Amino acid sequence: MTGRDQTEDMQGSVRWAFRCGSWTPSRCEWLFAARCIQREEKDRIGQFVFTKDAKSAMAGRLLLRKFVCERAGIPWSEIRLERSTKGKPYLAAPLKVGSDSGEAWSFNLSHQGDYAVLAAEQGFQVGVDIMKNTMPGSSSVPEFFRIMTRQFTAHEWSIIQSAGLEQQRLAAFYRHWALKESFIKAIGTGLDFNLQRVEFHLSSEPVTQSQVLRLTKMHLDEKEEEDWIFEESLLDADHHVAVALGPADKPGVARHPSSLPPPTTFTLLSFSDLIASASPLTEEDSTYWDSFKTKADAPQRQREMRTSK
């Protein structure tokens, strides 16, 4: 992490990414990671059928605990993470930093494709979503779009369908999807929200790996929302990530969007970074590794898609 990244984190903004897809944990790494998360989370991760999903979930829990430990100053062993009824993780106690700051942290996690990502901000609701630009597995692109018709407005579909070649149309689709999911995750409503209520208006500026765009506008029930900001960037050529930043739950303590520091790209962490502040919570369980190493990496279709590229 560079000095610039550290400065921006201290201002109340965290953007971290971990590349699960290229992580091949050793026995020592996997067993240590399992010791450093809550027992119920360890058990849940152990039930995944494929190592791809288990690695993503494990990285997500370590990202969350690293964030709470390093930004809130809560000892690793005292961190207690819970899940809302909608499945959104939260800290069992209010998360604030510094006695002179009344702004609570909000954080959110996403994992898809080859990465797990975490976004956190003080004084805002936060939602993050990452999407990998992949061909639909069991249908053609037109059929895939037909199935998803109700998830987007007529304006959004016009942008998606006019994006160019098939791969470009897919990229536009996943860009819109990541934006919608980031908003839904920020407000914490889950599947109960009608996605056609939100419509995104993109700028003509391309999304790249080198900078973060904050130019996209959201319309909610056909009215432009001035209090929501959306950050967009690429982690690599295939992974689009969107961060939604909106008014905090408690009136009077939220920061205005104009107070945000300049956006920063996601910092790519290593496994050593993930566990830099970690301490074991449970005893080592050697059977956990035995179970992990017998799992297939991913469903056959996903393996074939990777080898065909």
Residue for token digits 């993109």? Answer: 202
* Residue 274 identity (one-letter amino acid): L
* Residue 300 identity (one-letter amino acid): Q
* Residue 168 identity (one-letter amino acid): Q
Q: For residue 94, give both structure tokens.
A: 């209010």
Q: Please tell me the predicted confidence (pLDDT) of residue 104.
A: 83
Question: How big is the chain by its Cα radius of gyration, in Å?
Answer: 20
Per-residue exposure over 126-146, b if at least 16 CB sit within 10 Å of its own CB, e if not: bbbbbbebeeeeeeeeeeebe
Share of the chain above pLDDT 70, in %: 85
| Long-range Cβ contact pairs of 140-147 (< 8 A, separation 24 or more) | 141/166, 141/169, 141/170, 145/169, 145/173
Determine the average pLDDT of the residues in 17-33.
Answer: 97
Q: Work out the mean pLDDT of the chain and round it to a whole number.
A: 87
pLDDT digits (tens, 9 = 90+) for 49-99: 999 999 999 999 999 999 999 998 899 999 998 887 766 777 886 565 443
pLDDT digits (tens, 9 = 90+) for 195-237: 999 999 998 899 999 999 999 999 999 999 999 999 999 999 9
159 or 72, which is more confident: 159
190 or 124, which is more confident: 124
Ramachandran area for residue 37 (φ above 0: left; ψ -120 to 50: alpha; else beta): beta
Q: For residue 40, give both structure tokens.
A: 């119920």
Q: Please tell me the predicted confidence (pLDDT) of residue 307.
A: 33
Residue ranges with strand state E in the chain: 13-19, 81-83, 89-91, 105-112, 115-122, 124-132, 198-201, 217-220, 223-224, 229-236, 239-247, 267-269
Task: Categorize the per-residue pLDDT at 301 as very low, low, confident or very high, splitting at 50, 70 and 90.
Answer: low
Q: Give which of 63, 67, 43 is closest to 54, Cα–Cα.
A: 43
Determine the average pLDDT of the residues in 11-37.
Answer: 95
Q: Please tell me the predicted confidence (pLDDT) of residue 84.
A: 76
Residue for token digits 């971290």? Answer: 16
Q: Give which of 179, 171, 254 is closest to 217, Cα–Cα.
A: 179
Q: Please tell me the predicted confidence (pLDDT) of residue 98.
A: 44
Q: Does residue 308 have a pLDDT over 80?
A: no
The full set of domains in the chain, from first to last, is 1-103+262-302 (3.90.470.20), 124-247 (3.90.470.20)
pLDDT digits (tens, 9 = 90+) for 101-142: 567 888 999 999 999 999 999 889 999 999 999 888 778 999
